[in-house]
Each structure stands twice: as C-alpha cells, then as structure tokens.
C-alpha cells in the first residue's frame, strides 16, 4: 500500500492569488493524478502528473491555470493560479502502480477563495 500526504489540508485564499498544493507518496507509484471534487459531487480528473515532463490535462483544464510538476516518482505539486471563487473546492492527489488494482488518495486540500 501507499500513504499519500498532502499539504495544505485547507486554506482560505484571496481572489487573484495562486496557491501550490504539495503531494508526497511514501513509496514509488507509477501514476499520479490530481482530482477536484466539488461539495456533494464525484471526482473530476484535472490531469495526470508525468514524471519529468508536462502533465496530461483533461478537457476543460489547462496548464496556465493548473500548472503541475512531478520532478520524481514520489512528489508532485498542483498550483491553482489566479484563483476565483469558482475554484473553491477540494483538490485530491492520488497515486497507484500500473498493474495493481488500487489507487490511493491523499486526504485532500480544501480551498476556499474569497
């Protein structure tokens, strides 16, 4: 199994600012993903974090708004840029190995944008 740590766990941010969320995995995983979850809703995939190269973004998400880094197998960051109240959400980091059946999640980062 893998333990995934995220920080910050929560933050209150001002409109127009940017915030970087860090994700650390305690063991090597092949895949790392960033999700967003609005209250009461299911998970929305933002992007797949690729080691040493640009992330692969889902439709509706762009690098300028959500820059992602993954310098090694066990660490990734997601930045929410130029935040607006619509960006208020829970952001979840997840990771898993390609051939195993399980995807592990961090505890999430709850962002509130005023």
Partner 1 sequence: GQNIDQPTEMTATEGAIVQINCTYQTSGFNGLFWYQQHAGEAPTFLSYNVLDGLEEKGRFSSFLSRSKGYSYLLLKELQMKDSASYLCAVRDLFGDSNYQLIWGAGTKLIIKP
Among 92, 95, 111, 113, binds partner 1 (CB under 8 A): 92
101 binds partner 1 (CB under 8 A): yes
Instruction: Mark residues 35-74: x for contact with partner 1 by CB under 8 A, - for none.
Output: ------xxx-x--x--------------------------
Part of the chain binding partner 1 (CB under 8 A), chosen from 14-22, 62-70, 76-84, 94-102: 94-102
Among 11, 13, 24, 31, binds partner 1 (CB under 8 A): 31
Report the length, in residues, of the chain.
114
Among 74, 104, 111, 113, binds partner 1 (CB under 8 A): 104
Helices (H), the chain: none
Distances (CA, A) of 62 to 10, 34, 57, 114: 23, 13, 6, 22
Distances (CA, A) of 104 to 5, 81, 87, 93, 94: 10, 26, 24, 8, 5
């Amino acid at each position: 199994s893998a333990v995934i740590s995220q920080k910050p766990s929560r933050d209150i941010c001002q409109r127009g600012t940017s915030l970087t969320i860090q994700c650390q995995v305690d063991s090597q995983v092949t895949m790392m993903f960033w999700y967003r979850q609005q209250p009461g809703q299911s998970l929305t995939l933002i992007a797949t974090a690729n080691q040493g190269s640009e992330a692969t973004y889902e439709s509706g998400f762009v690098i300028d708004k959500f820059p992602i880094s993954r310098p090694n197998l066990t660490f990734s960051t997601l930045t929410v840029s130029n935040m607006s109240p619509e960006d208020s959400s829970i952001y979840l980091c997840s990771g898993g190995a390609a051939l195993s059946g399980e995807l592990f999640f961090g505890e999430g980062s709850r962002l509130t944008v005023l």
